[in-house]
Structure 1
């Protein structure tokens, strides 16, 4: 065996698996990296189609992503599927000519893997680190063997998590964290106050409930099925209301007729608007993470001096804000929480391998609203 290694060293100048200096395409700096293939497997699309169409998601062979100076190149071990993936893939309300892409669109903005290479201006990670990440919707995503991501959108994978458990968490966790800490401005000083989470059985709701419980808040959730009610209770919710019925008498029956201090709306706010206005205590705060399907009367906010805020994960990276490193701080904090057991993964279903057939099935399940928790695909 040693002779084989020695022969390879003589012929190539390095031992198998060793790292070498290699210039990444499109970047004028050298970096330590494994010798990379020129192409990779991926699942993507050229046409925006219903998921029943076989061309809605295709198995592809595409070039390895080009790195920017603050990017990491992550070898993907697992990728999660979210409702945003199905919305990005679905047919668009545009002319037929705009339903096509010249280059393949690769979805997936939640994943975990190992850093294979990095740009010259990166400072937080090293090649070989195990990480989890949420990617940039404007770029190709994690339904591929490799993905290029700005390092602020990356965190150290919790040591007690598998790649699959870790891949399930970044997008929903960062969204929930920003909603509670950065938008609703919750802190340990709010211990004993009440947070109402509309749709607490969803991805963001099931993380937000854990975060709020950790701060000492009373958490009231809403669900419609026995399975989602049970899932909510397993993830920190104290009381579950039925959101197919009027929430106000249910709140009153549980002793909250005077309202709640905080409300997180993980669903279309339009059908709930008057209920939200009535349920919020004077000077309360409300956070929306979903677009309203209709116009709402914001004049109702004034009487109680209510604060209305919105959360869109990746605003800071999209607009290159001065505080975009906040993402890195969030990842550091939630990794500690995962490792301490304060937060737990919401992974409920794993599929393998990562291919078009399995991703189409995952999209179908999400669109049919048959999913509780997160679906993750692993391995190529």
Structure 2
């Protein structure tokens, strides 16, 4: 089968930052599905791993990355119970395994959902990673409770990105939260409003614009962009007994003492935790993806696809990574095989 990977972490402009090669089609065992990949999408995690995974060596065999995929089940392991050969599926994969930048991929059925019937393969490929991340943030980290959280405020930092785009929709459609998103450019502000945000504020003037809209503090903050840069501001803006969730990490230790006097809760969200650690509730991702498929089919949610690259090639993968690295990507970018 054809696959695209890298032997060394190089700038995307370098010729060998990605290379195409041939490798054997893997065989499914246990609860694995063998999926013939039809489309996948490129996320910030892709370029961050490409930039950092192989810095001090040159691999003999190229590393295959890629998370988010849509495809058809070609074969199943002996213990598979949730899917059959021929099923159309979508998923975000597992950081510890070979990725979706290949014609075939093995993936554990417990982190796979059925593809939404009404979406094209490109539209569906835009959803899994960001949809899971946003859903887990709202319901597994914030633990949104309609009885106690109705009318509370949620600030999403970077509302026009892949995660922010679907988080706005989920919060507006599945909760009673007031949703505030940050965006600085006219086109990103318009996108956030299209996704359903109640308010859109410029992150360069965050505190002043929040205050102008009547929010001196907020109940929930969801960081999708840069926790280190926003940490002190988030600690100031969060209400007493509020909750902050971040997906971005920090290159330096965080001063948690800033949250102490307000008894603020802080949580990380990593969509890969369940698959990486084979948690007891790993199959929740299967259930979430199926719920997302239902919400997409009944029109509650819309795809966040904005850019489609036609053809599984080194050139298209490089262009998708360049777009992600630019920091100007809106919504999701998908490669159709």
How high is the TM-score relative to the length of structure 2?
A: 0.96
> What is the root-mean-square deviation of aligned Cα atoms in Å?
1.3
Q: Superposition pairs for residues 46-65 of structure 1, below 5 Å? A: 46-65=7-26
Per the alignment, residue 66 of structure 1 pairs with 27
TM-aligned CA deviation for residue 293 of structure 1: 3.2
Per the alignment, residue 244 of structure 2 pairs with 286
Per the alignment, residue 184 of structure 2 pairs with 224
CA contact (8 A) 1:41 1:62 kept: yes
Counterpart Cα distance in 2 of 1:85 and 1:361: 13
Which structure's relative contact order is higher, taking Cα pairs within 8 Å and 6+ residues apart?
A: 2
Counterpart Cα distance in 2 of 1:368 and 1:271: 18
Per the alignment, residue 322 of structure 2 pairs with 364
Runs of 4+ residues deviating >2 angstroms: 91-95, 187-191, 293-296
1:89 to 47, 50, 65: 50
Q: Superposition pairs for residues 320-359 of structure 1, below 5 Å? A: 320-359=278-317
TM-aligned CA deviation for residue 295 of structure 1: 3.0
Counterpart Cα distance in 1 of 2:194 and 2:322: 26
Per the alignment, residue 33 of structure 1 pairs with none
Question: What secondary structure is seen at the aligned counterpart in 1 of 2:164?
Answer: helix
Q: Superposition pairs for residues 178-217 of structure 1, below 5 Å? A: 178-189=136-147, 190-214=149-173, 215-217=175-177
Counterpart Cα distance in 2 of 1:273 and 1:87: 21
2:251 aligned with 1:251:
no
CA contact (8 A) 2:111 2:282 kept: no
Larger Rg: 1
Counterpart Cα distance in 1 of 2:63 and 2:232: 40
Per the alignment, residue 239 of structure 1 pairs with 199
1:267 to 220, 225, 229: 225
CA contact (8 A) 1:50 1:91 kept: no
TM-aligned CA deviation for residue 333 of structure 1: 1.3
Q: How many residues align?
A: 335
TM-aligned CA deviation for residue 275 of structure 1: 1.3
Counterpart Cα distance in 2 of 1:93 and 1:220: 38
TM-aligned CA deviation for residue 91 of structure 1: 4.8
- Please give the per-residue CA displacement for 1:110-163, whole angstroms capped at 9, x wherever unaligned: 110110001011111110011111111111111111110001111100111011
Per the alignment, residue 254 of structure 2 pairs with 296
- Please give the per-residue CA displacement for 1:326-374, whole angstroms capped at 9, x wherever unaligned: 1111112111111111111110111111111110111111112232111
How high is the TM-score relative to the length of structure 1?
A: 0.86
Stretch moving more, 110-119 or 58-67: 58-67
Per the alignment, residue 3 of structure 1 pairs with none
Name the CA shift for 1:262/1:91 in 2 (closer, same or farther; >3 Å): closer
Counterpart Cα distance in 2 of 1:41 and 1:370: 30
Per the alignment, residue 23 of structure 1 pairs with none
Per the alignment, residue 170 of structure 1 pairs with 128
User: 5+ unaligned residues in a row in structure 2: which ranges?
Assistant: none
Q: Superposition pairs for residues 151-170 of structure 1, below 5 Å? A: 151-170=109-128
CA contact (8 A) 1:73 1:146 kept: yes
